[in-house]
Structure 1
Amino acid sequence: MNILWDFDGTICNTYPAYAKLFCQMINKNVSYDEVLQHLKISFSNAFEYFQLTSKEIEDFMKQDEQLDVSKLPPFANIENVLRLADQNVIMTHKDKATVEKVLHHYNLAQYFSEIVTPEDGYPRKPDPASYEYLHRKYDLTLAIGDRELDLIPAKKVGIYTCMFQGESEVADFYITDYAEFNNTWIKFKGKQKEPFRH
């Protein structure tokens, strides 16, 4: 089984730190929960909704890149899923240096064969170009993400989809904790009519 992962909100629980930083920086009377809700759709969604200026966006992105890795922990039990896979790859909108720094800090870098980020020049999700590239190279089985944005391109290229801590019609199945993954995956595979390739 070869898995494509999103990073923020899927491998690491980064959104609480982002939302806290956002609230501190914009100096507007907004609730943490409201900020979190919009950030989880996308950063650009939050920037537009809260009407940030280009200077505020630039400042936020600089501060985001400097967040202490201790505030960006991996989700519980994720390492068990990473070990199950033959290969793991990441497609994220986050910069490569930050992703690598966080993965190394938590001793997770060893599990990943490749990390695709904006520096690689692919269009942003939900454009499927980066997924097509990774699927051709690694014959992917499954994509795991916390937003529809992560799963739509997987569906376009014919990969099974798992929504983490959310629900979507695009997802083939859902989990709320990585401890559930193995049993849920086995049940899902058992329901498929076509022979499973991996």
Structure 2
Amino acid sequence: PTRGQIDGEMASAILRGRHGTSVTVKLARRTEQIPGVPGRPASRGQAPEVKWRQVKLVRDDILLSPVYSELLTSPAEVKGREQLVTRTGYIKLTAFNQRAAAEVAKAIEDLRDQGADRFILDLRDNPGGLVNEGLDIASLWLQPNDVLLHTINNHTMNTVKLPETATPLDGDDPLVVVVNKRTASASEILAGALKDNKRARLIGAE
């Protein structure tokens, strides 16, 4: 940034702070109608007037959901005189944070309540995160004793399986997992577990 200016990272660092504390920001407005849009100059060659306003903001905890979900509907084949409609639950998972598994479970339940009978799990551009959250998400679709992953420690291979008491949230509906070259870490483990247990079909660039 030039002298007297700050970039986005610097502004973010200044704005962040402890819960309950406050920060005052100064906003520049060039028109009363649309913030940030230059107003028409009073005369040719004259710069738009800038009006300043100070706003006091109270810092708070913001919980970001890594999940976006949507019900996709489309007409299918015609059976007799009735045209069937497919209802696909689309779930986009952007990261594996502490809320990932709970948010995916909620999305599955909400979409099933809307009539979804098949699902798409979109892991494109997901860099990973907490591996345990990925395993918890896999357990939503897998069966007891299904293998989650293999680990090697001191030349010894260990197998991690779902416990016999595990109960899948959705063990039957068709599932497609979408990946690309930027699907990494916990995303790869999740996609691999679903594919290796023949629970999901993978599409996209690996």
Q: Which structure has the larger Rg?
A: 2
How high is the TM-score relative to the length of structure 2? 0.23
Higher helix share: 1
Q: What TM-score comes out, normalization by structure 1 length?
A: 0.23
**Which protein is richer in strand relative to its size?**
2
State the structure with bigger RCO (CA 8 A, min sep 6), 1 or 2.
1
